[in-house]
């Protein structure tokens, strides 16, 4: 659905009479004077906790990548500066709400407009595309024993000692990102992705795959993740499709 059939309803139209407007009727919300589509009736009483931005626009016609960049960074595409996304800005300025969580999680495919830009790797995102498995790379393969894991971490630490001698903020940011990944690879954070711990009745209320991503987002917020982007449509691998 478009914005006129969700959070920015217009006067109801009439396709038969070729009258432009919304397809569905509007309902009142908890905020006086603010209405939403009738299919958001359960959200309507909670709108005092929602910020609906109705002023976003861009001047490029029929160009999804440009609109995606504008949505994430607030800027037009430029060939000289790679600007950070909103999620990366929050990760950089606020960090995670707890030590055992990343500040920024993307449930969808990665692309440059969602990334940290000039802020560096330490302000990047942790991403996943399968709610049943969690982020790729955080779960240790079954064949990797504790002994092998310890040996790998010692080797990585030795490389880090050499990298520390390089006076380059990009290297330092990358090292910090590696340390965070190792910290998040333990069982505590990975339990957030075990949606089977939720009652079946609750999972059914959340609905299909998109709903399960929203349920996972709630669990991640409870773990201390500060910013989460949930993709509606995972069919566009470059992140430039509709309903991102």
Q: pLDDT per residue over 47-81, tens digit each?
A: 999 988 888 776 777 677 888 888 899 888 888 89
Residues 83 and 182 in one domain: yes
Q: Is residue 242 part of a domain?
A: no
Contact (Cβ atoms closer than 8 angstroms) between residue 98 and residue 220: no
Please tell me the distance from the alpha carbon of residue 224 to that of residue 191, in angstroms, as a whole number: 13
Q: What is the pLDDT of residue 235?
A: 59
Q: What is the pLDDT of residue 244?
A: 44
Q: Please identify, among 55, 71, 91, the residue that sits at the C-terminal boundary of a domain.
A: 55
Q: Is residue 217 part of a domain?
A: yes
Residues 44 and 75 in one domain: no
Global confidence as pTM: 0.77
Residues 215 and 103 in one domain: yes
Q: What is the pLDDT of residue 128?
A: 87
Stretch 222-231: mean pLDDT, rounded?
A: 93
pLDDT band at 224 (very low <50, low <70, confident <90, very high): very high
Residues 96 and 27 in one domain: no
CA nearest to 8, candidates 21, 16, 18: 21
Burial class (CB in 10 A: 0-12, 13-18, 19+), 140: middle
Q: What is the pLDDT of residue 220?
A: 94
Residue 157 confidence (pLDDT) above 60: yes
**CA 15 to chain CA mean position, Å:** 36
Stretch 130-139: mean pLDDT, rounded?
A: 74
Residues 89 and 176 in one domain: yes
Residue 134 confidence (pLDDT) above 90: no
Query: Regarding predicted confidence, which is higher, 16 or 244?
Result: 16
Q: Is residue 14 part of a domain?
A: yes
Contact (Cβ atoms closer than 8 angstroms) between residue 13 and residue 23: yes
Residues 47 and 125 in one domain: no
Stretch 215-230: mean pLDDT, rounded?
A: 94
Q: In this structure, how many other beta carbons lie within 10 angstroms of the beta carbon of residue 35?
A: 17
Q: What is the pLDDT of residue 62?
A: 67
Contact (Cβ atoms closer than 8 angstroms) between residue 130 and residue 124: no
Residues 47 and 126 in one domain: no
Residues 6+ apart with CB under 8 A from 115: 82, 84, 85, 88, 124, 125
Q: Is residue 103 part of a domain?
A: yes
Question: Could you identify the residue written with the tokens 């969580």?
Answer: 101
Output the six-digit token pair for 232: 């509606």
Count of domains for the chain: 2
Please tell me the distance from the alpha carbon of residue 121 to that of residue 39, in angstroms, as a whole number: 40
Give the tens place of pLDDT for each residue, 7-48: 988 888 888 888 888 889 999 999 999 999 999 999 999 999
Distance (Å) of CA 14 to CA 1, 8, 36, 187: 17, 18, 19, 54
Residue 96 confidence (pLDDT) above 60: yes
Residue 219 confidence (pLDDT) above 60: yes
Domain hosting 11: range is: 1-55
Contact (Cβ atoms closer than 8 angstroms) between residue 87 and residue 225: no
Residues 4 and 43 in one domain: yes
Residues 27 and 114 in one domain: no
Residues 42 and 97 in one domain: no
Residue 208 confidence (pLDDT) above 80: yes
């Amino acid at each position: 659905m478009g914005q006129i059939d969700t959070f920015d309803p217009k006067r109801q139209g009439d396709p038969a009479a070729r009258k432009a407007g919304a397809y569905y009727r509007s309902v009142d919300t908890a905020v006086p004077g603010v209405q939403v589509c009738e299919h958001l009736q359960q959200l309507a009483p909670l709108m005092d906790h929602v910020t609906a931005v109705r002023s976003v626009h861009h001047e490029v016609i029929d160009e999804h990548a440009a609109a995606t960049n504008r949505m994430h960074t607030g800027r037009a595409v430029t060939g000289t500066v790679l600007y950070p996304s909103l999620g990366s800005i929050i990760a950089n300025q606020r960090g995670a709400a707890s030590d055992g969580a990343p500040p920024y999680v993307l449930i969808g495919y990665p692309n440059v407009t969602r990334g940290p830009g000039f802020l560096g790797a330490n302000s990047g995102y942790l991403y996943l595309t399968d709610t049943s498995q969690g982020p790729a790379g955080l779960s240790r393969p079954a064949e990797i024993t504790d002994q092998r894991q310890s040996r790998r971490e010692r080797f990585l630490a030795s490389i880090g000692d050499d990298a520390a001698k390089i006076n380059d903020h990009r290297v330092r940011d990358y090292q910090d990102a590696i340390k965070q990944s190792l910290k998040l690879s333990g069982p505590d954070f990975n339990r957030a992705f075990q949606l089977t711990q939720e009652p079946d009745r609750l999972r059914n209320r959340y609905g299909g795959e998109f709903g399960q991503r929203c349920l996972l987002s709630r669990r991640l917020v409870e773990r201390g993740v500060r910013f989460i982007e949930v993709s509606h449509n995972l069919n566009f691998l470059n992140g430039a499709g509709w309903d991102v």
